[in-house]
Amino acid sequence: MIMEDIATVFPTIEILRHEPLAHYTHTKTGGPADYLAFPTNVQETKSLLAYANQEKLPVTVVGNASNLIVRDGGIRGLVMILTKMASITADDDQHTVTAAAGAALIKTTQVAQAHGLSGLEFAAGIPGSVGGAIFMNAGAYGGEISEVAVAAEVLTPTGEIRTLSREELDFGYRHSSVQDYHDIVLTATFALTPGDKGAIQAQMDDLNARRAAKQPLDLPSCGSVFKRPEGHYTGQLIQEAGLQGLKWGGAQVSTKHAGFIVNIDHATATDYLELIHHIQDVIWKTDHVKLETEVRIIGEQPQD
């Protein structure tokens, strides 16, 4: 299959060939996608999936690429970035907010606040997309998406559109059924509680101030790298092991928060992954604690 074929089939969809994913990831790292498409609606997403299935092309879906590492070898087949599907609507009578998969989670919390709807304040500073938040049950400051998400419309790998209930989404710690069944999130609906707009905004402002004070928001990163191991704080383990500030190629364990790895000097995904593995090895040897990655790692290793 050649680029002209896809362009002919989908003349209205932006599709790039051999596009470096480093242009889109929050770490500013990642190899090229064979084909990178930006669908703007459900029908375009469905059509792209059907075509990829017909041509036996692997399909990878990416949201805001904030909690993601793409290996330096890139991704074969078709990659879809859904950030052009970004509509957000509020139903004041039902006290719900429904957002498309590519909508920014931060923007979704702002819409909720503007309608005096409480429950999403914890997500006010999470830089991912709504689809990504459903995919991994995003959470912060004691809140999780599972507490407010009541339904998600998904596109199954075979092209069927289904609406999944909260129970069917099978949320767990940084987990949802979307991961297991390789569904593509299209929209999500959040059930919220009426509240005072000023109080909601004050809580969002407080959490964002706390985030800015503790996290290295001024440097490229993939957010929190590791899941919190039971009975421990990841950043504290890394700090006590003497790894804070450690540099590996262009990547560094953040001097502001040891649970983050930042890109300080043209880091590669390989720098990130080697540093992650080193941290895991050291913490296992010193504390007998197995650190599992929270960040999603996809793509192929670079060819020698």
Q: Domain holding 48: CATH number?
A: 3.30.43.10
Query: Based on the domain organization, do 36 and 56 belong to the same domain?
Result: yes
Residue 12 neighbours by CB under 8 Å, 6+ apart: 44
Q: 176, 224, 254, 296: which is the annotated catalytic residue?
A: 224
- Mean pLDDT in residue range 87-115: 98
Residue of 71, 118, 129, 174 marked catalytic: 174
Shared-domain flag, residues 198 and 221: no
Please tell me whether residues 146 and 197 are part of one structural domain: yes
| pLDDT value at 4 more than 90 | no
Q: Quote the domain boundaries for residue 76.
A: 3-81
303 located within any domain: no
* 224 in active site: yes
Output the six-digit token pair for 199: 């109080």
Task: Please write the tens of the pLDDT for every residue from 28-61.
Answer: 999 999 999 999 999 999 999 999 999 999 999 9
Q: Is residue 231 part of a domain?
A: yes
Report how many domains make up the chain: 3
Query: pLDDT of 231-278, one tens digit each?
Result: 999 999 999 999 999 999 999 999 999 999 999 999 999 999 999 999
Instruction: Give the residue from 49, 81, 113 where a domain finishes.
Output: 81
Q: Does the pLDDT of residue 98 top 90, yes or no?
A: yes
* pLDDT classification of 303: cutoffs 50, 70, 90: confident
CA of 142: how far to CAs of 39, 82, 206, 271, 275, in Å?
34, 28, 14, 31, 28
Is residue 77 exposed (0-12), middle (13-18) or buried (19+ Cβ within 10 Å)?
Answer: middle
Model confidence, pTM: 0.94
Identify whether residues 135 and 114 lie together within a single domain: yes
Q: Of the residues 165, 187, 212, which one is the last residue of a structural domain?
A: 212
Residues 207 and 124 in one domain: yes
pLDDT band at 5 (very low <50, low <70, confident <90, very high): confident
Report yes or no on 167 lying in a domain. yes
Distance CA 226, CA 274 (A): 14
- Residue pair 272/265 in contact (Cβ under 8 Å)? The answer is no
Which of these, 147, 148, 106, 101, lies nearest to 124 by C-alpha position?
106
Residues 218-228 have a mean pLDDT of 96
Q: Give catalytic status of residue 66 as yes or no.
A: no
Is the same domain home to 208 and 221?
A: no
For 135-155, write each residue's pLDDT tens digit.
999 999 999 999 999 999 999
175 and 239 share one domain: no
Structure tokens at 150: 């009541």
Domain of 223: which CATH number?
3.90.78.10
Annotated active-site residue 294? The verdict is: yes
pLDDT at 215 over 60: yes
